[in-house]
Structure 1
Amino acid sequence: MVLGMICALASAVCFGTASVLQAVAARGAAPGTGSGVDARLLLRVLKEWRYLLGLALDGLGFVLELIALRALPIYTVGAALAATLAVTAVVAAPVLGTRLSRAEWGAVALVCGGLALLGLSSGEEGHLRGTTALRIAVLLFALAVLASGALAGRLPDRARPAALGLGAGFGFGVVEVAVRLLDDFAPSALLTNPATYALLIGGGAAFLLLTTAFQRGSVTAATAGMVIGETIGPALVGVAWLGDRTREGLAPLAVTGFALAVVGALALARFGEAPQTTETKPDPVAAAAGRPARERRDR
């Protein structure tokens, strides 16, 4: 279990560092036409070295996340991944010359405190592997995330980033659950397991939706939606259907830790709103400072 917690935290460090690089690349890429989700945006940002370096860190983070999900309850790993925002804020400060306010440092401490409580109270991962019906349901949900993302991209400007961020969070949540539903890694078993396709579709949809949200809308709203979507739903699935539990008698401590980590992460969603340097042509680096572009992944 100790190894799982180390991997979860190391995964957050990878994703948080990658977010700084990816946010700069996404904001610096040439914008597409219209307001909907633009798949060609991915092709444009893939020409940016910062984005490619971020992808390499995302890949490492995904491997560490997978190890953590095989050793810890989903609610613990999800809260640890929400700590990515704390990592992003801390890394962006020296790298991009931004400053954290006292409230933001307090939010970082809140996330760390919540994770400490979770580390003390978490039990081992649940031993239930899920039914075929649950695997199919997760796949259908991944397809729904992909379809709803196309609709969210056409919403009015004010509602669009939050909807896209929430959709991305649901996609990341699908990945977390799907990893736990992979009980046999033989090629033939993977090809016949609906969870394999749910993982690929959910991760791809989340990757695209979050990239679009960060380029075309409020990063604060998108990130807040993402944190909610990727933590609460998967945690409930883990407890209700996969047997995730806390240590004996420590359930209140785990709930408190989970809540503190998520609240702290939501508070840090504001960190990306750096002021623009001019009224007509914002500096892409300043505008992207600290913006947690955690497009993990085919996680």
Structure 2
Amino acid sequence: MICALGSAVCFGTASVFQAVGTRATAPGTGSGVDAALLLRALRQWRYLVGLGLDGLGFLLQIVALRTIPIYAVGAALAASLAVTAVVAARLLRVRLSGVEWGAVAVVCAGLAMLGLASGDEGERAGSTTLRYVMLGIAFAVLLLGAVAGRLPGRGRALALGLGAGCGFGVVEVTVRLIDDMAPGALLTNPAMYALLVGGGAAFLLLTSALQRGSVTTATAGLVIGETIGPALVGVVWLGDRTREGLEWLAVLGFAVAVVGALALARFGEPESGNGAGAVTG
């Protein structure tokens, strides 16, 4: 759980730097799958700082996913939005209201409940069918991005954010489906390709969403996509369980953490003014 929370800190801080770096680049083509936009963003040092934090967060996420249930890791990742709110308040001088600080406390309370209720990760290895399903979903995320890029305004941001969340959700599940790190086993495991395609697609969609769409809406879709689906897969197909008699506390904690994170979604976007110019300039 410590690794999961450390991952949330990395991802939450990264989102501030990536949003600023992406907005400083030239506009993209409008497609939700725009590799050229990602390449331009990589020239911005703030985006690179965010990418480095994402890399560290991913390593911590792998450790967490190999130790505790997916639903606990997913809720912790949703809490990265609370981290984003705090970082935005410090670095961008965004002033949080009492209600917003209360939402941060709600997220922390939800995670505390999850920590008390979480059991060990499931012992099921996952079927070959599930591996191919994850690969299919990963390619579907790319298709969703191509279609979502043509949508107007809020619908575009929501679809791209949801697609990115599904891509990151594929990564969460496939980490559990890779049980042999030998080169030969990796090359023949569909989960490995699902991880690469899903993670790459998620970055492309999220970069497009951060530049042109509403980051508030995009991050809301991101949270939904990367928490609910993977949590269900972990419980139904991989055998994730809670401590005996504490199922209700796990469900309540998960719901509280996600709802609190959604309430803070707007802090993924640095506002103009209020000191933001010191970062975006």
Distance 1:118 1:205, change over 3 A: same
Q: Does 1:74 align with 2:47?
A: no
The match for 2:198 is 202
Picking from 217, 227, 231, the partner of 1:231 is: 227
RMSD of equivalent CA atoms: 1.7
Whole-angstrom distance in 1 between the partners of 2:199 and 2:31 = 22
Picking from 174, 178, 193, the partner of 2:174 is: 178
In the alignment, is the contact (CA less than 8 A) between 1:35 and 1:216 conserved in 2?
Answer: no
Picking from 7, 14, 20, the partner of 1:18 is: 14
The match for 2:47 is 51
Which residues of structure 1 form unaligned runs of 5+?
278-282, 289-299
In the alignment, is the contact (CA less than 8 A) between 2:30 and 2:149 conserved in 1?
Answer: no
Which residues of structure 2 form unaligned runs of 5+?
none
TM-score (norm 2): 0.95
Shift in Å, 1:19:
1.3
TM-score (norm 1): 0.90
Whole-angstrom distance in 2 between the partners of 1:141 and 1:103 = 37
Picking from 158, 164, 169, the partner of 2:165 is: 169
Deviations 1:29-72 (A, max 9, x none): 11123455422111111111111111111111100000000000
In the alignment, is the contact (CA less than 8 A) between 1:92 and 1:98 conserved in 2?
Answer: yes
Distance 1:123 1:167, change over 3 A: same
Whole-angstrom distance in 2 between the partners of 1:101 and 1:273 = 16
Whole-angstrom distance in 2 between the partners of 1:107 and 1:91 = 15
Q: How many residues align?
A: 279
In the alignment, is the contact (CA less than 8 A) between 1:37 and 1:153 conserved in 2?
Answer: yes
Deviations 1:80-121 (A, max 9, x none): 001110111111111111111111111110110000000000
Q: Does 1:121 align with 2:105?
A: no
Deviations 1:139-198 (A, max 9, x none): 011111111111111112231000000000100100000000001111111111000000
The match for 1:83 is 79
Whole-angstrom distance in 1 between the partners of 2:148 and 2:35 = 14
The match for 1:248 is 244
The match for 1:220 is 216
Moved more, 189-198 or 95-104: 95-104
| Other structure's SS at 1:29 match | coil
| Other structure's SS at 1:163 match | helix
Whole-angstrom distance in 1 between the partners of 2:49 and 2:268 = 20
Whole-angstrom distance in 1 between the partners of 2:30 and 2:68 = 42
Picking from 28, 32, 35, the partner of 1:32 is: 28
Distance 1:260 1:92, change over 3 A: same
Distance 1:89 1:275, change over 3 A: closer
The match for 1:211 is 207
**Match of 1:7, as an amino acid?**
C
